[in-house]
Amino acid sequence: MDLVAILGAISIFTAGLTLAVGAGAVGLAEGFAVASGLTSLAQQPDEAGSISRTMFISLAIVETSAIYCFVVTMILLFANPFWQYAIEQAAK
Spans of all domains in the chain = 3-91
12-66 pLDDT, tens digit each:
999 999 999 999 999 999 999 999 999 999 999 999 999 999 999 999 999 999 9
| pTM of the shown model | 0.77
Q: How many residues does the chain have?
A: 92
66-81 pLDDT, tens digit each:
999 999 999 988 988 8
For the domain covering 3-91, report its CATH number. 1.20.20.10
DSSP secondary structure code for residue 31 in this structure? H
CB 3 within 8 A of CB 86: yes
